[in-house]
Amino acid sequence: MKFLSVLMLLISLNAFAARVEVDVLGMTCGMCVEAITKELKATNKVDNIKVSLENKKATFQELAKTKIADSEIKAAIKKAGYEAVKIRRDK
């Protein structure tokens, strides 16, 4: 049973690659948050998306073995009607 618990923990830790934080210009309301979340989700390369209107940031995690390029992030946010100005990655 312990082996199974450890295995599940390792799988969950490896399910995601880098944590990404993006500064976003132009957000003014809850609809902005929804639009950005929708477009990032549509890339099928990220999960755990959190968009903060207050902090003007979007944070998410790349799916394991599925790197999302900065250009893809910028394109998704632009498609939602906003501008990604700074992208940071943590491992």
pLDDT digits (tens, 9 = 90+) for 62-80: 998 889 999 999 999 999 9
CB 20 within 8 A of CB 68: yes
pTM: 0.81
Give the span between the Cα atoms of 36 and 25, in whole angstroms: 11
User: CA quadruple 7, 11, 12, 18: dihedral positive or negative?
Assistant: positive
Q: Which CATH number fits domain 16-90: 3.40.50.2000, 3.40.50.1700, 3.30.70.100, 3.30.930.10?
A: 3.30.70.100
**What residue ranges do the domains of the chain occupy?**
16-90
Ramachandran quadrant class, 65 (left: phi over 0; alpha: psi -120 to 50; beta: rest): left
What is the predicted pLDDT for the residue at 63?
93
Q: For 39-53, what is each residue's pLDDT tens digit?
A: 999 999 999 999 999
